[in-house]
Every structure is written in C-alpha cells, then in structure tokens.
Amino acid sequence: MTRTLVLGGTRSGKSRYAENLLPADAEVRYAATARRHPSDPDWDARIETHRARRPAGWTTVEDPDLVAEIARGGVLLVDDLATWLTGILDDVGAWDARPVPPSVGEAVDALVRAVAEAPGELVIVSAEVGLGVVPETRSGRLFRDELGAANAALAAVCDEVLLLVAGLPVRLR
C-alpha cells in the first residue's frame, strides 16, 4: 500500500491537497489529531472548518492513538503530525523539561515503525518547519527541532513525499 507524506507551511493547502488524494466515496478514516480547547473558540472554529469539508462518508477519529489507527489498516488520513506532536509534548511536560523526556522520541519512533509497516493506504499531513527563522523561545525551538526530526524520519519510510508551496505540490519523492 502507498504511504504518502504531505508537508507544507501554514495555509499552504496541505490538508486540502491530502484530502483530495483520496476518493470522496472511499471508506476513509480521518485521524484528526488536534485537541479541542473549550476556552479557545477560534481553535474550535478551525477544527470545525476542517470537519465541514470532509466527505460525509468518512469516519473521523479525534485525538487518536495513531499507532493503533495505522495498524488497523484500510485507508487512513492523518491530519496533522504537528498537533499530534504538540499533544505528546504537552502530555509529558516537555516544554519545561531539560532534557526532553525520552518518551517523546519513543512515541515518534513507534509512529515511524507503524508507518513503515502500515498495512493500508496512508496519507499523513505535517507542517514543514525547517524553512523559517530560528524561534526566539525555547519552546519554539523545541517544537521546530522535534517536528523537523519526526518529518525526516517519516519521509525516510514513506513512498511519496510532497511539499505544498502556495497551494502547489512539489514532489520530493
């Protein structure tokens, strides 16, 4: 089966492009990794915008166990790795921990193994963070470094890797 990684910056069109890779009438599970925050109506509105444009027949799994979802097989779209990693960093208190807790790397390694062994068609969306400025804060640098490393590890095991720039796909592999 095909494993596709779709990278891009903010508002690059990466999510919409990834969604369009899959037929609207297919049995797709949509692993939505963004966690809802009741105190942040803007964030919830962004989640609802994504939800509203998905085909009605797709099944959405919010805040999923990605390794388990990938192992189930079938057609899976993961949107996106950046919010998944944010949840991992939140859960282990990595923002203030020095050094980064080993469980962060372990979670990423488990995800990469699952992707490498994926029994079904898989499309993963992730933010490309390697093209910007060096973040001013430690938490910004931590996020950039951890996501950049995760993206590179996933790109190594994916069959196709695309970068969306201004809505246009550039095939990297």
Catalytic residues, by residue number, are 50
* Closest listed residue to residue 11, CA positions, set 36, 38, 46: 46
Q: How many CB atoms lie within 10 A of CB 135?
A: 14
Q: Cα-atom radius of gyration of the chain, to the nearest Å?
A: 15
* Closest listed residue to residue 108, CA positions, set 77, 160, 151, 71: 151
Rounded to whole angstroms, how far apart are CA atoms 154 and 157? 5
